[in-house]
Amino acid sequence: MAEAGKKRPRPVPVPTSITRPFWDAAKQGKLVLQHCRRCGTWQYWPRPVCIRCISRDLEWREAAGRGVVYSFTVTRLPAEGFEGHEPYVLVSVDLPEGTRMMAHLVNCPIERVRIGMPVRVVWEKLTEEITLPQFEPAA
Ligand code: ZN
């Protein structure tokens, strides 16, 4: 348990063979999603097969990097691994590609978060290997 009020480094994702292309693109500030060559479905998070037709014929395509808040939650109590970061906002974002992505919302006062709010992706470099996508209000 972290000292009360002390901000500790947040957990760092560990790439796998399936998620490696996502993290490699993120390092370059590009949001990529899996796209099924067989049925055209986009999906997030990365998986070995298409969630619609179970095809393994998936490719990575760059996404627009914007979306609209579908839902959100404000975390005010310390959660394991995020002690000292509260309060923070997690958003579920509808992407124009047709899938949904969950991430932190940054650069936005909590009282201004709204369902339907346009957002765009921003990047936070956590380590040399991991750059994390987050969202902020679109201008
Ligand atoms: Zn498919």
* pLDDT, tens only, 80-105: 888 888 899 999 999 999 999 999 99
Dist. CA 39 → ligand 1 center (Å)? 4
pLDDT at 4: 53
- pLDDT tens profile 16-64: 999 999 999 999 999 999 999 999 999 999 999 999 999 999 999 999 9
Q: Tell me whether the omega of the peptide bond preceding residue 109 falls within 30 degrees of 0, making it cis.
A: no
Q: Is pLDDT above 90 for 1?
A: no
pLDDT at 8: 79
Dist. CA 104 → ligand 1 center (Å)? 28
Element (H, E) at 20: helix 20-27
Closest CA to 127 of 8, 2, 13, 7: 13
Tokens of 127: 């380590």
**For the chain, how many residues are written?**
139
Q: Which residues, by Cβ under 5 Å, contact ligand 1, an ion?
A: 36, 38-39, 41, 50, 52-53, 55
Total-model pTM: 0.90
Dist. CA 75 → ligand 1 center (Å)? 35
Chain center to CA of 26? 10
Place of tokens 């808040």: 69
Dist. CA 30 → ligand 1 center (Å)? 23
Dist. CA 69 → ligand 1 center (Å)? 25
Distance (Å, whole) CA 37 – CA 98: 15
Q: Which residues pair with 69 in a beta bridge?
A: 93
pLDDT at 5: 55
Dist. CA 139 → ligand 1 center (Å)? 34
Backbone torsions φ then ψ of 15, nearest 5 degrees:
-60, 145
Tokens of 131: 């750059």
Dist. CA 45 → ligand 1 center (Å)? 14
Pairing mode of beta strands 118-125, 42-43: unpaired
Dist. CA 50 → ligand 1 center (Å)? 5
